[in-house]
């Protein structure tokens, strides 16, 4: 698709997101973990599973968050939609343009911007916490704030990430987990341990929210 086509896709996509969430409501759990840093103010690094991206685009729109987006062709669609929803983006991933993307995130974090990454994106495996977020946290000194998401009713797409699309009139639940700081001098073994802990924290939180919203497990 050419540049005008991508631009049109961004407009259409952002309009669809707005329409989809017109009848939903949000319930924020432990939002004090975020508000603590908002009062200081201190930027944070939001980390969440790729499959939870859509509700967070809606409920954290127009906050000027800088998001790492894949350089693959489908990443261009996502970047255009994010831009229309008030996000800034940098391009890169664990498989393509990763170093450049992380470098730009570090620069944005040091400039006082909130950052966002999907540690199991852009291609999976699902629920594998890759080291990108830890590297950015280590270089900037910013806290990682993990986010888990569920909905009282929704579709799970048949994609690798089981992408969550809330149904009309659903309640979306967003849980803000306790922040994690990554020591500058952390060893590789310590980083691997922290990755495993963060993955476990996110999966437990997701299971906890899904237990409150069992219908959200239905496939599209």
Q: List, for residues 132-162, the tens digit of each pLDDT value.
A: 999 999 999 999 999 999 999 999 999 999 9
Lowest mean pLDDT segment, chosen from 53-57, 96-100, 155-159, 195-199: 96-100
In the chain, domain spans: 3-217
pLDDT (0 to 100) of residue 12: 67
Which residue's structure tokens are 């509700």? 55
Q: Which of 54, 10, 43 is nearest to 151 (CA)?
A: 54
Whether the pLDDT of residue 97 is over 60: the answer is no
User: Quick check: 179 and 32 in contact, CB under 8 A?
Assistant: no
Q: Is the peptide bond before 153 cis (omega within 30 degrees of 0)?
A: no
């Amino acid at each position: 698709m050419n540049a005008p086509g991508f631009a049109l896709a961004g407009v259409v996509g952002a309009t669809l997101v707005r329409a989809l969430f017109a009848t939903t409501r949000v319930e924020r759990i432990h939002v004090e973990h975020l508000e603590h840093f908002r009062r200081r103010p201190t930027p944070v690094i939001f980390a969440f599973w790729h499959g939870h991206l859509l509700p967070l685009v809606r409920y954290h729109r127009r906050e000027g968050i800088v998001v790492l987006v894949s350089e693959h062709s489908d990443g261009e669609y996502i970047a255009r939609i994010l831009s229309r929803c008030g996000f800034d983006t940098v391009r890169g991933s664990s498989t393509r343009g990763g170093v450049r993307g992380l470098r730009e995130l570090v620069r944005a974090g040091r400039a006082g911007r909130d950052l966002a990454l999907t540690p199991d994106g852009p291609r999976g495996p699902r629920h594998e916490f890759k080291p990108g977020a830890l590297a950015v946290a280590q270089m900037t000194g910013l806290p990682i704030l993990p986010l888990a998401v569920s909905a009282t009713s929704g579709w799970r797409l048949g994609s690798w990430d089981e992408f969550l699309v809330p149904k009309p009139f659903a309640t979306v639940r967003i849980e803000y987990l306790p922040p994690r700081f990554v020591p500058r001098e952390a060893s590789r073994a310590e980083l691997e341990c922290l990755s495993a802990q963060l993955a476990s924290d996110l999966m437990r939180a997701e299971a906890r929210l899904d237990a409150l919203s069992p219908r959200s497990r239905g496939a599209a």
